[in-house]
Amino acid sequence: MKIKKPTFVMAAAVILVVLCATTLQRQLGRWNSVEGPGLALNEKTWTAISCRVHLYLQKAQGKIPKLSWSEVWGLSQPGSGLSCAEGRSLEAALQFSSVASAGDRRVGARIFHERCSGCHGNDGSGGSVGPSLARSAYNHGDSDLAIYQVVRDGVPGTAMPRADLSLSEILRVTAYVKTLQAHLPEDQEPSRLVIDVSGERLRTAGNNTDEWLTYSGSYDGWRHTSLAEITPANVARLRARWIKQFDIGQQNIEATPLVVDGIIFIAADAGHVLALNVRTGDVIWQYTRPIPSDGPLGFGPVNRGLAVSGGTLFFGTLDGYLVALNAADGKVIWETSVASPSSGYSITGAPLAVNRLVIVGIAGGEFGIRGFLAAYDASSGQQQWKFYTTPGPGDLGHETWENDAWRTGGGGTWVTGSYDPSTDLLYWGVGNPSPNFLGDVRPGDNLFTNSVIALHASTGKLAWYFQFTPHDEHDWDAAQTPILADLSIKGMVRKVICWANRNGFYYVLDRVTGEFLTGVPFVEIDWASGLTPAGRPILVEAAKVSTAGRRIRPGIGAANWQNPAFDQERGSIFIPATESSSVFSKRSPNEAVREPHGYALGSSWSQVEPPTRLVVALDAATGSRKWQYRESVPGRDYSGLLATRGALVFGASGGSLFALDADSGREVFKQSLGGSTLSPPISFRIDGEQAIAVAAGRALFVFGL
């Protein structure tokens, strides 16, 4: 019979291994019996070599059929945990879990949360498909080898699949699973995250330096921390404590993380929420949701953050849902449809939890939506109230729409607002009218677009409004975070709202009544000669959009959604600003054709010069300029700001984190991060030490001294 060459080679190799192993085993026995200096092998070395030779011999003799030669070789290497003793089986000898390092277990935990938690639960306590792993005995064996084989091969006839992992990855998962087992009695539950954020804790969030509980850090929108450990004198010593890279495709992180009870919660992208260990960045749990490919995504699939109340996280989705997640394990508690993407709606902003309500705004101002703001019961997801930003017949402000354009008039509410518990008033910015550049098809002031609205949080009823740019034709929407402060205005302390608007004016309003108090330019403008005593802009000829096109300052916006910060001790407001100009032009209204998810506008804008990115420090009460910092790398990838009691202002731009002296604007720190910087920095404590966190590209960086 003719023997095939591969079979012959394999047989020859096996015979050679058997002969070599047998010879080496005998020789080792003779060496070990020899006495005398330099000849006797160390007992530990002898045991290790003998064990491995015996393992190879067993494999060559067909006594280890369930492991391949490459696995036998890998399991016999130093560091695999192979521990030999006379008469010991391979199952008893493989003890990787007992020698695995903390780093090995962290890798195993990461793989488990990414690959296994969907069935077995984020804490291993079991799910709708997989059994609990937090128990003292497993159905298919408790040894390292038994767990290794189950992970490698899966369990036929069950939902447990074969894992496509390397030997070292399976060993690390095994080590992590053994920590879940942890010798628990059958009736003992594993420990879980305990998250419970009360209403009082949210109201006083600005005083809690260990955490970051809301989108702006506190209800007042300050983006300020009273931590003062990091100062202009020592900020150069900042170093990365850890970096967490997320698998989120090509999107860049825009979200503000929340930090609660030693856990970081972050929306890494529009469909991906994670809980991370604040000390290490290790994933505790994660929630994923498909991102619709055909929705009204004018600026890409983004999400800017979460809200927390009690033990629940709240998350808005691109397909118009508000989702409540259990903060302990990431499982869905409820979800409710806020608006339909087929009508041009999506949700990109962070919700705001107020008392027992969750307030959420909507995006889609470019797509002919009818804007609104809505509140939902935090425990059930039932809608409690809804306020339309383009008022219908009989509503206050309807007369400012001189035709039926209010039905598709825009007015998105896509950036998170602020809240004053003392008055129960909610303050929210309203976006541009639609179509955004072609005002001829929507005559009138177009309330409440380009406005701040003050609503009674418990009912959604309008308390007051202020419109910054009536009948906007330049896309200068009021998509900025309101800052609430108590300031001395003409010798009297007033409850005010501070607003650096996209139209280039800085405003101070009475936040109880809406009275206009102050309005001054914070960048160069030429579309208005000033403001009336009531705060209405005084237009000049250049403000009128023509078919030939006119160059206007500011261009597409002096301030966008990137957040300002406020320092009460200094009375300063810090603004991420842009100096620019654009040419705006229009065509006949007949050329504005409504299409799915938007308009063919028949009008446009074009940037005349590269924008200059600035950080501008103003006196919050008067708007007078204190200093400005010019960012060295212009571009769209700039972030909001963070002010600290340590006399620093942190921001990010052009792929770098920077820190400025709050008194002078002098740059005192800069660190390249290597990715687009759209997420604003935050600050909190780790083990009593101040930390700074910022996202860049698809990674989260946490810094400390």
Burial status of residue 681 (CB atoms within 10 A of its CB: 0-12, 13-18, 19 or more): buried
Quote the CA–CA distance of 183 and 203 in Å, as a whole number.
42
Count CA atoms within 13 Å of residue 310 on its CB side. Answer: 14
Phi, psi dihedral angles at 51 (to 5 degrees): -60, -45
Look at residues 611, 606, 652 and name the one whose alpha carbon lies nearest to residue 635.
Answer: 611
Residues 6+ apart with CB under 8 A from 113: 122, 283, 284, 285, 286
Which residues are 701's β-sheet partners?
A: 243, 694
Q: Widest CA span of the chain, in angstroms? A: 109
Q: What's the CA gap between 195 and 589, in Å, rounded?
A: 54
Q: Is 475 a catalytic residue?
A: yes
User: Quick check: 630 and 612 in contact, CB under 8 A?
Assistant: yes
- At a CB cut-off of 8 Å and minimum separation 6, what does 264 contact? 257, 258, 275, 276, 277, 278, 281, 693, 700
Q: Residue 676's beta-bridge partner residues?
A: none
Query: How crowded is residue 172: how many other Cβ atoms within 10 Å of its Cβ?
Result: 26
Phi, psi of 657 (to 5 degrees): -90, 135
What single letter denotes the amino acid at residue 115? R
H/E stretch holding 29 reads: helix 5-33
Spatial separation of the C-alpha atoms in residues 423 and 457, rounded to whole Å:
9
The active-site residue, picked from 475, 477, 567, 661, is 475
DSSP, collapsed to helix, strand or coil, labels residue 426 as strand
* Region at 347 (left for phi over 0; alpha for psi -120 to 50; beta for the rest): beta
Contact 702, 691 (CB under 8 A): yes
Q: Is 45 helix (H, G, I), strand (E, B) or coil?
A: helix
* Residue 670: other Cβ atoms inside 10 A: 14
Residues 702, 241: contact at Cβ < 8 Å?
yes
Total residues belonging to the chain: 705
One-character DSSP codes across 560-613: -SSPPEEETTTTEEEEEEEE--EEEEE--GGG-EEETTEEE-SEEEEESSPPEE
Residue numbers annotated as active site:
475
